[in-house]
Structure 1
Amino acid sequence: MTATDPFQDDPDTAPVPRDEGRAFLVGGGVASLAAALFLIRDGDMRGTDITIIDEGTLLGGSLDGGGSAAEGYSLRGGRMLESKYLCTFDLFSSVPTLDGDKTVTKEIFDWNATMKTSSHSRPFSGGQRHVAPEFGLTGHHIRGLERLAITPEAILDRSTIADQFDDAFFKTNFWMMWCTTFAFQPWHSAVEFKRYLLRFAHMVGGFNRLEGIMRTPLNQYDSMVRPLHAWLVARGVQFRMNTTVTDLRLAEEDGITVVRGIRIESGDKVSEIRIDTDDYVMLTLGSMTEGSSLGSMDVVPELHGVGMGGAWKLWERLAKDRPEFGQPAAFTEDVDRSKWVSFTTTLHDAALLTLIRDATGNVPGEGGLITFTESSWLASIVIPSQPHFLGQPDDVAVFWGYGLSVDAIGDFVRKPMGDCTGREIMTEILGHLGLAAKAEAILASAICIPCMMPFITSQFMPRRHGDRPDVIPAGTANLAIIGQYCEMPDDCVFTVEYSVRSAQTAVYGLLGLRRSPPAVYKGVFDPRVLFRAFVALHDLATTGDHGTS
């Protein structure tokens, strides 16, 4: 940093760093990266006293992004943001963009002030766009949603969404848009569905256009992870990559469980990191994207299981005979109900984006998710603003998509999506766009990389109270659990916000700071939010278009 850098700490007002204690953060996802920043910014810890340990070669966890124009770009997924992600925007208000021009938070808000999401074709079927479709809920369905919203989680327990609604509910436009936006299935947890209903009540009014959804200027790895990583490197944070944490050495001291060692493997070397009295350990347990497998235009991605990485094995080992560490099996025992396939397509002829724009009315970056409602795979695509990757050539375009029903037989390619190559997936998508006649020419300049993710919605699987450990497990002293598989009331998993909130909660709790993360926004207590939701759920809106155009 230069002396004139506006993000440089003022030496006259900077806090005095802590003289004692180190922090070891297991997992290189956004939860650990966020925890490191909070330790430095709010906990006055030296960056050189913080170590992030990850078994892979790339930081960011599920916020990944890579590849090239020549070989094809690849994203396992993309995370939607919205203005009430208070922890996330607090975090990135301290992080400058890579060019140092502004904070990442300001960049995101500035970007979305001009690139506002408002879909002209949330569903697409029969070769036609459908603008702001009605939800199609009956009074019985709406009462069911209201009943679920006020039912205590303890009563819902391991019940599923299908336990709460009749079959007709799952044929409504409301469910089609909800399940494809958030990746819910009828067999997923009613508790998680309830939390989403409450957490995003303020977005229901514009949900059929995806209004209120925010995006980053580039993919989230380039727009969020890279700047955050650079901030941490500049402050001396240590990174141990290609290193797997296999176990913790725990000790009982005066009735309290404390971590005294971290057992690691790196290559053929097995060793232990000693944990002293003033040290802290934060673990990312479980992983949505562990076991992911990439295919290619002519190669099908493989379906892996729990044994492919360390995040689940570490959790299983820690949880054995220790109920305070939760029950990982609740999230891993049925891969067929937690898997789906995503794909990233690189186009060396961007004419396809023009055809999609003309068919759907969605300008790249403004339309959000387009779901092919006649697709047996329940496939959707997103056309982001271009470029989507740092360094992406001007004559190259990228888009992303996924399918929820990966075991169903395709409509144009008579195979399950999970058994398809990138070429076959693109053939299916082009068929639903009404472009089958142009498929050969389009495929000649396209690279489609499919990705099978066995645990991508595992955090939505039905669970009981206690299956997810608390951020600071009961009876422990120097240990915290962060990421998607710890328990935090009110907030929603499968969001960047959940990971960041867990990190902030862990840092403030372990260090005994007299502060708390920003409270979860609860729009359900705002009469204006409730009124807009009522109007939308009852299809009473008097503005906007409905039907086809």
Structure 2
Amino acid sequence: MKHTKWKYLTLGAASAGAAVYSVKKASEKQVIKRQIKAEEEVKTRYYGDRQVYFIGGGLGSLAGAAYLIRDANFDGKHIHILEGMDILGGSNDGSGTMTDGFLCRGGRMLNEETYENFWDIFASIPSLEFPNQSVTEEILNFDHLHPTHAQARLVDADGNILAAHSLGFDNNDRLKMTKLLATPEEKLDGMRINDWFDEHFFETNFWYMWQTTFAFQKWSSLFELRRYMNRMILEFSRIDTLEGVTRTRYNQYESLILPIKAFLEKHQVNFETNATVDDIAFKDGKGITATKLFFKDGRELELAKDDVVMMTNACMTDSTTEGDWSTPAPKPEERPISGELWYKISKKKDNLGNPEPFFGHEDETNWQSFTVTCRGDRLLKKIEAFSGNIPGSGALMTLRDSNWLMSTVVAAQPHFKTQTLDTTIFWGYGLYPDKIGDYVKKPMKECTGEEILYEWVCQMHWQEEWDELKKDIVNVIPCYMPYIDAQFQPRAMVDRPQVVPEGSTNFAMISQFVEIPKDMVFTEEYSVRAARIAVYELFNIDKEICPVTPYNRDPKVLAKAAETMFR
């Protein structure tokens, strides 16, 4: 069972909402004194007609708008969120119908101990399901009632559940891992994981579990693996059960995006969908001052002197394509729209990073997911009987020897609010969609939903029941994501820009492609932390940004990690 590290302190300034802070280094009295002083100062501010424009409608932008309202006392009517798609949420998606089937492009894990700023902002967002609770309370209450303890984390080619508690390290693996954690980040520029570890490491239980939990590849950035190991060292000892995974009640779109959107709507924030920003003009000379936004439809927006722009400089789910039961997900036709904007502006000013290492390597950054919608629960009952986990308790089940390296997750049902009681869903993905299947002899990314599910059923050795099982299927939606691992690409330290670039007067970047010391990309926390940094720096907010909790310096945690390496 997970433990709750949070020691909540509610600050009672009604105008700023119920701000919640984790007390770590300073005493409670010092924190209270500082927060009260900061809130009193913010109350006196008058912003006039100052406007803030968020480019991109994902979690980072929504959290940034919420921080502006809560902590900067900024008028929501002057906040504008510009989204190129016809729906908000970015990579936090969840869609579909009972007729066409449901879709989750990805599986997003939350973590109670390490998502410091995520829990902070959602503690100020009212739940849509339980009006007297915050979203943070709703999620943690649900998760504590539905704890995770995977009993079938790894499955071999013969359909046997492996004893994954043993990580499988030899002394060389232990030496290399210890040396990596002790090596300064600046010495790891451009290095890949397989530049550091020998082949044995990639055959260990640890690698199969860590790889599929976080979607690493052998060629991913060694720098990012090091950050993950330091940041998620609590998960090292429980990687075989995934007890550290925190679950939302429904998919993340309905559990996270809709509540924060409702909060912002209440404060009259302006949302504009189908509004693609195609370019940004900056003031000539030194420094970074945005002066004009150019839209794909030909519109131009002149920025006033004090206006602020916060841009999502890339999105890992851009250019995704979807298929169905009888149709493969089509090949993407273009590079990510948000990445193209980053390319343009990076040529105009220094300190805006370098997108080249992240995009243009589709063969290294792609993987494919699939969402299965069923009538009844026959298939889920088979999974439950095999794994020993009821829906919502098992986390990832990885078919270790499958050519596509397939993993599946069965969430607590229902996973969608419109899902009826006689309908069940589960989600899966393959990390190697370019490889030929073991049973369906073609690449995963060329397969229909039916073929992907058949491959998985065969991997589970249930093919004799295929004709009966497929009668229950409403749809299987394949989702090909060409840049889903782009944030893990090998890079130099300077390739990701600072959240507020050096020399900026009114411009910030918030995404999985900015640089935040010590924190790890591909997480909800990273987007929220980036947004909070942007707001606090550009608006001179003298409040604490919850720091990265240094579990990697906790003697008890380190001792347990050292013991785990010898399991």
> TM-score by structure 2 length?
0.91
Q: How far apart are residue 516 of structure 1 and its match?
A: 3.4
Gaps of 5+ in 2: 1-10, 18-38
User: Is the counterpart of residue 472 in structure 1 residue 504 in structure 2?
Assistant: no
CA deviations on 1:245-276 (whole Å, 9 max, x unpaired) are 011111036x322111111134xxx1111211
In the TM superposition, what are the counterparts of 1:9-88 in structure 2 within 5 Å?
10=14, 15=43, 18-20=46-48, 21-83=50-112, 84-88=114-118
In the TM superposition, what are the counterparts of 1:111-130 in structure 2 within 5 Å?
111-125=142-156, 126-130=158-162
1:517 partner amino acid: I
1:547 corresponds to which residue?
none
Q: Return the alpha-carbon distance in structure 2 between the equivalents of residues 119 and 369 of structure 1.
A: 7
Distance 1:86 1:12, change over 3 A: closer
CA deviations on 1:93-115 (whole Å, 9 max, x unpaired) are 00111131311101111111111
Q: Return the alpha-carbon distance in structure 1 between the equivalents of residues 402 and 12 of structure 2.
A: 52
DSSP-derived class of the 2:177 partner: helix
CA deviations on 1:409-460 (whole Å, 9 max, x unpaired) are 1111111111111000000111112211111222222110000000000000
Q: Return the alpha-carbon distance in structure 1 between the equivalents of residues 506 and 15 of structure 2.
A: 31
User: Equivalent of 2:249, from 211, 214, 217?
Assistant: 217
Q: How far apart are residue 323 of structure 1 and its match?
A: 3.6
Q: How far apart are residue 178 of structure 1 and its match?
A: 0.6
Contact between 1:370 and 1:381, CA under 8 Å: does it hold in 2? yes
DSSP-derived class of the 1:51 partner: strand
2:123 partner amino acid: S
DSSP-derived class of the 2:493 partner: coil
User: Is the counterpart of residue 500 in structure 1 residue 528 in structure 2?
Assistant: yes
1:496 partner amino acid: E
Q: Return the alpha-carbon distance in structure 2 between the equivalents of residues 497 and 191 of structure 1.
A: 18
1:391 corresponds to which residue?
418
Contact between 1:120 and 1:131, CA under 8 Å: does it hold in 2? no
Q: Return the alpha-carbon distance in structure 2 between the equivalents of residues 265 and 259 of structure 1.
A: 18
Q: Return the alpha-carbon distance in structure 2 between the equivalents of residues 12 and 288 of structure 1.
A: 32
Q: Return the alpha-carbon distance in structure 2 between the equivalents of residues 237 and 156 of structure 1.
A: 42
DSSP-derived class of the 1:129 partner: coil
DSSP-derived class of the 1:208 partner: coil
Contact between 1:505 and 1:516, CA under 8 Å: does it hold in 2? no
2:7 corresponds to which residue?
none
Q: Return the alpha-carbon distance in structure 2 between the equivalents of residues 294 and 444 of structure 1.
A: 22
1:357 partner amino acid: E
CA deviations on 1:335-381 (whole Å, 9 max, x unpaired) are 10000000111011211100000011111101100000121110000
User: Is the counterpart of residue 279 in structure 1 residue 307 in structure 2?
Assistant: yes
Contact between 2:288 and 2:349, CA under 8 Å: does it hold in 1? no
DSSP-derived class of the 2:195 partner: coil
Q: How far apart are residue 38 of structure 1 and its match?
A: 0.3
Q: Return the alpha-carbon distance in structure 1 between the equivalents of residues 15 and 510 of structure 2.
A: 32
Instruction: Pick which of 313-322 and 26-35 moved more.
Output: 313-322
1:263 corresponds to which residue?
294
Q: Return the alpha-carbon distance in structure 1 between the equivalents of residues 195 and 322 of structure 2.
A: 35
User: Is the counterpart of residue 205 in structure 1 residue 237 in structure 2?
Assistant: yes
CA deviations on 1:195-233 (whole Å, 9 max, x unpaired) are 000000112111111111111011111101110100001
CA deviations on 1:104-147 (whole Å, 9 max, x unpaired) are 10111111111111110001122222354310001110111111
Contact between 1:508 and 1:516, CA under 8 Å: does it hold in 2? no
Percent identity between matched residues is 37
Distance 1:12 1:493, change over 3 A: closer
Distance 1:471 1:230, change over 3 A: same
In the TM superposition, what are the counterparts of 1:226-375 in structure 2 within 5 Å?
226-252=258-284, 255-266=286-297, 270-304=298-332, 306-307=334-335, 309-375=336-402
User: Is the counterpart of residue 108 in structure 1 residue 139 in structure 2?
Assistant: yes
1:89 corresponds to which residue?
119
Q: How far apart are residue 22 of structure 1 and its match?
A: 1.2
Contact between 1:131 and 1:209, CA under 8 Å: does it hold in 2? no
1:380 corresponds to which residue?
407
Contact between 1:18 and 1:46, CA under 8 Å: does it hold in 2? no
1:345 partner amino acid: V
Instruction: Pick which of 424-433 and 298-307 moved more.
Output: 298-307
Instruction: Pick which of 241-250 and 97-106 moved more.
Output: 97-106
1:160 corresponds to which residue?
192
1:96 partner amino acid: P
User: Is the counterpart of residue 526 in structure 1 residue 554 in structure 2?
Assistant: yes
DSSP-derived class of the 2:246 partner: coil
Distance 1:11 1:173, change over 3 A: closer
In the TM superposition, what are the counterparts of 1:172-211 in structure 2 within 5 Å?
172-211=204-243
Q: Return the alpha-carbon distance in structure 2 between the equivalents of residues 11 and 311 of structure 1.
A: 34
Contact between 1:377 and 1:409, CA under 8 Å: does it hold in 2? yes
DSSP-derived class of the 1:444 partner: helix
Q: Return the alpha-carbon distance in structure 1 between the equivalents of residues 104 and 115 of structure 2.
A: 22
Q: Return the alpha-carbon distance in structure 2 between the equivalents of residues 257 and 225 of structure 1.
A: 31
* Count of aligned residue pairs for this structure pair: 529
Q: Return the alpha-carbon distance in structure 1 between the equivalents of residues 538 and 551 of structure 2.
A: 30
DSSP-derived class of the 1:257 partner: coil
How big is the alpha-carbon RMSD for the aligned residues of Structure 1 and Structure 2?
1.8
1:151 corresponds to which residue?
183
DSSP-derived class of the 1:256 partner: coil
> TM-score by structure 1 length?
0.94
Instruction: Pick which of 15-24 and 59-68 moved more.
Output: 15-24
Contact between 1:129 and 1:361, CA under 8 Å: does it hold in 2? no
Contact between 2:370 and 2:428, CA under 8 Å: does it hold in 1? yes
Contact between 1:199 and 1:522, CA under 8 Å: does it hold in 2? yes
Q: How far apart are residue 310 of structure 1 and its match?
A: 2.2
DSSP-derived class of the 2:196 partner: coil
Contact between 2:173 and 2:201, CA under 8 Å: does it hold in 1? yes
CA deviations on 1:308-328 (whole Å, 9 max, x unpaired) are x52011011001153411111
